[in-house]
Amino acid sequence: MKKLLVFLTLVASAYLLSCTTDANAKKPLNPNGDSELALLMRAMFDDGMRMKAQVQRGEKPDVAVAFEKIHTATPTEAGKNATEAYTAFALSYVQAVKALKEAQPGEAETYYTGMVNACLNCHNAVCPGPVVRIKKMLL
Ligand code: HEC
């Protein structure tokens, strides 16, 4: 029983360390301070919530965040952004943002939703902690 508990604790902490969870996004979650990628992600979330309101008001959303840095920003965990999966999901997110930027009036809802799904696809695969929070961006 004790062994099992130790094992579960190890699994849980490995999970938490492998990708930041979302308990309190305002505090630095990582003792070494927040990574460039974590800060970019938070900016992407805030920008997304702002664009959600624009779409809901029937306006064309304008993307204000440096979304292309998703390829190069340094993550908390070295190598996290160097896998084939990460690269593929990052490319598809960048494509989705570009499609949203080029959307015609009347297409904003569709392309905005496409962008949120691109966030969720990567997170479901490589970083499930923030999924609940990202779902708040859905219309
Ligand atoms: C290509 C994969 C990928 C995509 C696409 C992606 N993320 Fe992330 N996200 C990550 C990884 C990896 C981390 C962990 C970053 C770190 O700790 O350095 C992260 C972390 C986060 C965090 C937690 C940041 C913190 O406070 O530590 C939030 C919130 C987040 N992402 C939101 C989003 C939103 C919103 C989008 C879309 C607009 C998005 N992500 C798109 C991979 C992705």
pTM score: 0.86
Q: What is the pLDDT of residue 6?
A: 55
How far away, in angstroms, is 127 Cα from ligand 1 center?
A: 7
Q: Whose CA is nearest to atom 6 of ligand 1?
A: 119
What is the residue range of 60's domain?
A: 2-135
Rounded to whole angstroms, how far apart are CA atoms 134 and 54?
Answer: 17
Using DSSP, how many helices (H) and how many strands (E) does the chain show?
5, 0
Place of tokens 């999966």: 85
Residues with CB under 6 A from ligand 1: 19-20, 22, 25, 29, 35, 37-38, 41-42, 44-45, 48, 75-76, 80, 86, 89-90, 93, 118-119, 122-123, 126-127, 130, 133-134
Query: Per residue in 5-40, is it b (16+ CB within 10 Å) or e — as a string?
Result: eeeeeeeeeeeeeebbbeeebeeebeeeebbebbeb
Q: Whose CA is nearest to atom 30 of ligand 1?
A: 41
Number of domains the chain is built from: 1
Q: Whose CA is nearest to atom 25 of ligand 1?
A: 38
How far away, in angstroms, is 4 Cα from ligand 1 center?
A: 31
Q: What is the pLDDT of residues 92-128, one digit of tens each?
A: 999 999 999 999 989 999 999 999 999 999 999 999 9
Which positions of the chain have pLDDT values less than 70?
1-18, 20-32
